[in-house]
Amino acid sequence: MTVSDNKNKDVYNPSKGILDKANIRGYEKLYQQSIKNPEAFWAGIAKELNWYKPWKKVLEWKYPFAKWFVDGKTNIVANAVDRHLTTFRRNKIAIIWEGENNETKTLSYYALNREVSKFANVLKAAGIKKGDRVTIYMPRIPEQVIAMLATAKIGAIHSVVYGGFSVEALHARIIDSASKVVITADGGYMNNKIVQLKSITDEAVKRSPSVETVIVVKRIGHDINMESGRDYWYHDLMNLPIASPKCETEVMDAEDPLYILYTSGTTGAPKGVVHTIGGYMTYIYATMKYVFDIKEEDRWWCTADPGWVTGHSYIVYAPLMLGTTSIMYEGSPTYPYPDRWWSIVEKYGVNVLYTTPTGIRSLMRFGELWVNRRDLSSLRLLGTVGEPINPEAWRWYYRVIGKEKCPIMDTWWQTETGGFMITPLPETPLRPGSAAKPFFGIVADVVDEKGRPVSPNMEGSLIIKKPWPGMLRTIYRDPERYKKVYWEKIPGNVYTTGDSAKKDEDGYIWIIGRQDDVIKVSGYRLGTAEIESALVSHPAVAEAAAIGKPHEIKGTAIKVFVVLRTGFSASDDLMDELRSHVAKELGPIAKPEEIQFVDSLPKTRSGKIMRRLLKARELGMPEGDISTLEE
Ligand code: PRX
């Protein structure tokens, strides 16, 4: 790669080697074609996949509800697993798993199919039918992927809950989805500590009447509570005759739901983002193939957790659909030493690495020696996701990890979008901090509150103007909320992303951050309302307001302002107790960085907390319009 000065901008051009091998070239022309005739473009991609029955119509758009590949019949597992079994890929490694304690497991496509089929039969025996919901609350172990695929194989709907969440977050998600089965483990390892997944599950399930069965993978082997008639060991069930390795993959409609993935929004109740099968699989397949330029011989490593959308799309489904070898690491990037990630790159010869700005920043601070001890010469492409990457971290990633030869794909997308939306391609001249341009078929713009495009380099709202196959179809059981949250905020029948951005004169998009009450802590998405409701569930707290504050490593950290109930007084002990309380209720990622005790919170006359004002004051920024402030 060469660095050139393009209009005084810092631009990184791909090397000839990268260009020569790219799966796709000629973005500008292809992009224009793709938005001129998106249906033809997407049909072309979908034809690379297996369908039991072809679709009759590519898109049916009744604002704001889309159907893609109408009447087509397929199953994502038929594409992610089954179709490889009749080719050389049956012997190819599908998943390489590394445990935090150095254990390794590999599953070929053949072995993966066996495990998935067996567990699909177990789920059937547990009474799971097409359309039923299954909650998966697990550590990062191969059984997590097997559970997802087994659920999809029989046409049930998975709701994966991130293993770092705690009781309240898990409970809310089980209740909303009314899951019959919960799959968990006796615990998980993270940073040499045991995460007590089973006791958290017990707490959550106790108050969830829909749950009939809890299936428990033995990861740790310590004593846990097993409730007779409800809880079963995974390995026991997999040894029963019901767990036959033969299981037909269910024929599904393209628009049948594949999964629900809960994500934070502006109210306390998490939103159940619903993705359906046909469009989603087509979209993530295309994005992975073109953006990460996947080759048959590649080893791909996405450091995310399958509990987030990044893991759903780019650890599990897209890599497997492409027949790739996907690496999965269980634990912490710094255990036992800060070179753990780099040792995994070296050990497995990773070719494409996809991670987060927080991951990069947190390893940057340990210095280059930790990196340079390891051979990273296998790397060809790098990627980031989840939050804006600051140019300093970008350059470090480029120079120290990529040795100035690996283009960085800064992919902007959301749980709701299914896959990458604004992203470079390997051929794109890169500008550190910009996610470059819209993917094929995506019509994006930066507009003001009335929906009018803003001038180049001016801040505005990032919107998407046309439906795309990977888009969420609705919010589970709440189509009205779907409409209101995503399609009615900005005039013009456009999808509101909730992010602010700028577009430069060359059409490069620069994401600034969230515009709403969502905080991105280390790339994890949390709602201020969720944090506040965890706080007010503590007896000492009368009211709370959470804001995001810039943080050197986490990108954004949580600060909360707390009004205490009478009879309680501020102290360091209480501060610690409240921080732990939030971690216990919601999960360690939600632990506030700072707590400030205050006598009152600024509110509007209608009683809404003005977080915007708290934030402006905290950061010493202009207070903006405070005419609605209550005296
Ligand atoms: O604010 C944007 C930020 O992450 C949000 C979506 O979060 P979530 O649904 O948890 O999905 C994360 C993984 C796809 C976006 O609204 N975001 C995501 N990618 C980027 C980003 N911000 C800047 N640059 C990115 N590449």
pLDDT in tens, 306-321: 999 999 999 999 999 9
How far is 600 from 621, CA to CA, in rounded Å? 21
- For ligand 1, is residue 358 a contact (CB within 6 Å)? no
CA of 196 to the centre of ligand 1 (A): 28
Q: pLDDT band for position 605 (50/70/90)? A: confident
> Using a 6 Å cutoff on CB, does residue 482 contact ligand 1?
no
Minimum CA distance residue for ligand 1 atom 15: 414
Distance (Å) from CA 471 to ligand 1 centroid: 15
pLDDT value, residue 270: 86
Confidence (pLDDT) at 629: 82
Rounded average pLDDT over 99-109: 97
Among 275, 394, 413, say which to mutate for ligand 1: greatest number of ligand atoms within 8 Å of CB.
Answer: 413
Q: Is the CB of 253 under 6 A from ligand 1?
A: no
**In the structure, what pLDDT confidence band is assigned to residue 269 with cuts at 50, 70 and 90?**
confident
C-beta separation of 369 from 180 below 8 A:
no
Confidence of residue 111 (pLDDT cuts 50, 70, 90): very high
- List, for residues 444-494, the tens digit of each pLDDT value: 999 999 999 999 999 999 999 999 999 999 999 999 999 999 999 999 999
Give the closest residue (by CA) to ligand 1 atom 22: 387
Residue length, the chain?
631
631 pLDDT band, cuts 50/70/90, is low
Is 387 a pocket residue for ligand 1 (Cβ < 6 Å)? Answer: yes
Closest ligand 1 atom to the C-alpha of 415?
Answer: 9
CB of 261 closer than 6 angstroms to any ligand 1 atom:
no
In sequence order, which residues have a C-beta less than 8 Å from that of residue 86 and are 6 or more positions away?
A: none
Tens-digit pLDDT profile for residues 154-199 = 999 999 999 999 999 999 999 999 999 999 999 999 999 999 999 9
Neighbours of 269 (CB within 10 A): 18
**Cα 132 from Cα 157, distance rounded (Å):** 6
- The position carrying tokens 């210095």 is 367
Ligand 1 atom closest to the Cα of residue 388 is 23
What percent of the chain is predicted at pLDDT more than 90? Answer: 93
The CB of 415 under 6 Å from ligand 1? The reply is yes
For residue 392, what are the CA distances in angstroms to 197, 248, 426, 554? 37, 51, 21, 14
| pLDDT attached to residue 622 | 86
Residue 267's pLDDT band (boundaries 50, 70, 90)? confident
- H/E element holding 464? strand 460-464
**Which residue bears the tokens 């309680």?**
568
**Taken in order 33, 34, 36, 40, is the CA torsion positive or negative?**
positive
- Terminal-residue alpha carbon distance, the chain: 59
Phi, psi of 142 (to 5 degrees): -55, -35
How far, rounded to the nearest angstrom, does the alpha carbon of residue 531 sit from its chain's CA centroid? 20
307 lines ligand 1 (CB under 6 A): no
Report the distance separating Cα 462 and Cα 448, nearest Å.
Answer: 9
CB count within 10 Å of CB 65 equals: 14
What confidence score (pLDDT) does residue 6 get? 46
pLDDT tens per residue, range 350-361: 999 999 999 999
Question: pLDDT digit string (tens) for 112-126?
Answer: 999 999 999 999 999
Q: Is the CB of 511 under 6 A from ligand 1?
A: yes
* Least confident range of 281-290, 357-366, 436-445, 604-613: 604-613
251 CA distance to ligand 1 centroid (A)?
33
pLDDT score for 182: 98
The rounded Å distance from CA 476 to ligand 1 centre is 21
Could you identify the residue written with the tokens 């070239």? Answer: 25
| Residue nearest ligand 1's atom 14 by CA | 414
Number of neighbours of residue 471 by Cβ within 10 angstroms: 25
The arithmetic mean of pLDDT across residues 555-565, rounded, is: 96
Mean of all residue pLDDT scores within the chain: 95
Check pLDDT > 70 for residue 3. no
pLDDT of residue 219: 97
Q: Which residue has the tokens 């009749």?
A: 86
Asked whether 69 lines ligand 1 (CB < 6 A), one says: no
497 lines ligand 1 (CB under 6 A): yes
Summarised one tens digit per residue, pLDDT across range 189-212 is 999 999 999 999 999 999 999 999
Predicted local confidence at residue 5, as pLDDT: 44
Tell the residue nearest (CA) to atom 13 of ligand 1: 386
Question: Taking a C-beta distance cutoff of 8 angstroms, is the pair 302, 312 a contact?
Answer: no
Which residues, other chains included, contact 204 with Cβ-Cβ below 8 Å and sequence gap of 6+?
A: 167, 170, 171, 174
Q: pLDDT by residue (tens digit) across 399-434?
A: 999 999 999 999 999 999 999 999 999 999 999 999
Residue 230 has pLDDT above 80, yes or no: yes
Regarding the beta carbon of 414 and ligand 1, being less than 6 Å apart is answered yes
Evaluate if residue 92 carries a pLDDT over 80: yes
Confirm or reject: Cβ of 499 under 6 Å from ligand 1.
Answer: yes
- DSSP code for 508: -
